[in-house]
Amino acid sequence: MTPSASTSATPTLIRNVRVLGGEPQDLLLRDGVIASVGTAPDEADRAGDITIVDGTGLVALPGLVDLHTHLREPGREDAETVETGTLAAARGGFTAVHAMANTDPVADTAGVVEQVWRLGREAGHADVRPVGAVTVGLQGERLAELGAMADSAAGVRVFSDDGVCVSDAVLMRRALEYVKAFDGVIAQHAQEPRLTEGATMNEGELSGRLGLRGWPSVAEEAIVARDVLLAAHVGSRVHICHLSTRGSVEIVRLAKQRGLPVTAEVTPHHLLLTDELVATYDPRYKVNPPLRSADDVAALREALADGTIDIVATDHAPHPLEAKDCEWDVAAFGMLGLETALSVVQHTMVDTGLLDWAGVAERMSAAPARIGRCDTGELPHGRPLAEGEPANVVLIDPSASATVDPAASASLSRNMPYEGMKLPGAVVATFLRGRPTHVTGGLL
């Protein structure tokens, strides 16, 4: 659906839909908000100028919020644009995405973050919340214009050098002190640089057998431990990006038990895939941080279920064909993830009994919106499906399944690790403030 075709303000009545997976109810979307939840009168079906949707068998969740998306624009429009990336987001059930700062130029000024924010508004598929760089040019040498980005029209509240670690402890401390003034958060890419020089996969028996430089777990865990302590010392919020090891989980769990201001995310691919796939030397499985062991995967699932890990974030990282269709050692790190995230979470967490749909709503909508401070204000996200709340809604058919085909993706890139896999669930419709941004199967 094109943005121009999706501007209809026609009210939508969704009949017999399972809100958060509960008992069937009717959901009426009108004037950009949820007008009612419960049992709509039969007369509503006969009212003029209203779209009726049969929601039988479908689950309704609040529109998903991704705290970690790479949209590549400006600078790498051959890999992705704000237009195509947010269209992929809508297909995946997302109504808001946080766009990472490692663009070209880097999003380290008010001008660049406002440019990304405006491109998102023009595209209209999902609200774009730019992430500001922590350091100028992601160089790790001096702080970027954190205050100016916070005060800009984009209203930045999340700052990250994602792709590289803020490894200088003094700079990290200063960044935490700076963002505290406006309730910002530093999202850390936890990777000790010296311990990972030349590394391309998880360190272990397999890396030795394959002859690939290993990426030790301690390279992540050392930074997680340091930054948790720094955040506690400063009294400021730190968010750990893409947790990947059992040891990192244990550090975050201990920190939360002590009441420290730390939150953490896990990606769908770290919930499903293991380092055994690297034995194929297929660059689709090259990602930062690397795929880990089955034991790490089990720990990540347990931590997401018990709340130690707060959210699922996609780390959607598109790359042009030439960056992935090459030898393992020279291939780029990263995978697509927006369109498959919900299916992977259903497969790994819901169908295994580790989470119910209300739990998914918390970890993929409410909590990421709270962490990114986009749960309040002019265009809030992550709100409950209740009367008077914004009509940001995703409809899921949990009984569906499909074989993943990268050629069908809305993204400009094709580096999807699930190609050929049969995954459960399907996003059948996404509504942004009551306006459909994605619809399948003639639902509307």
Tokens at residue 125, please? 């598929």
**Using CA atoms, how far apart are residues 154 and 169, in angstroms rounded to an integer?**
28
Angle at 217 between CA 418 and CA 263, to 5 degrees: 80
- Listed residue (253, 371, 359, 263) closest to 305, CA to CA: 359
Which position among 26, 66, 315, 397 bears the catalytic label?
A: 315
For helices 246-257 and 217-234, what crossing angle results, to 10°? 20
**Using CA atoms, how far apart are residues 206 and 192, in angstroms rounded to an integer?**
22
- Listed residue (421, 429, 389) closest to 405, CA to CA: 421
Measured from the Cβ of residue 259, the count of other Cβ atoms closer than 10 Å reads 8
**In one letter, which amino acid is 316?**
H
Q: Give the SS3 label for residue 284.
A: helix
**In one letter, which amino acid is 143?**
L
Question: Does residue 66 have an active-site annotation?
Answer: no
Q: Give the SS3 label for residue 234.
A: helix
Is the CB of residue 353 less than 8 Å from the CB of residue 297?
A: no
Question: How many Cα neighbours within 13 Å face the side chain of 138?
Answer: 19
Tokens at residue 74, please? 């400006």
Is the CB of residue 34 less than 8 Å from the CB of residue 385?
A: yes
Measured from the Cβ of residue 329, the count of other Cβ atoms closer than 10 Å reads 12
| DSSP H helices in 235-352 | 246-257, 268-272, 294-306, 321-324, 341-345
Torsional sign, CA 145, 147, 153, 156: positive
Q: What residues are annotated to the active site?
A: 315
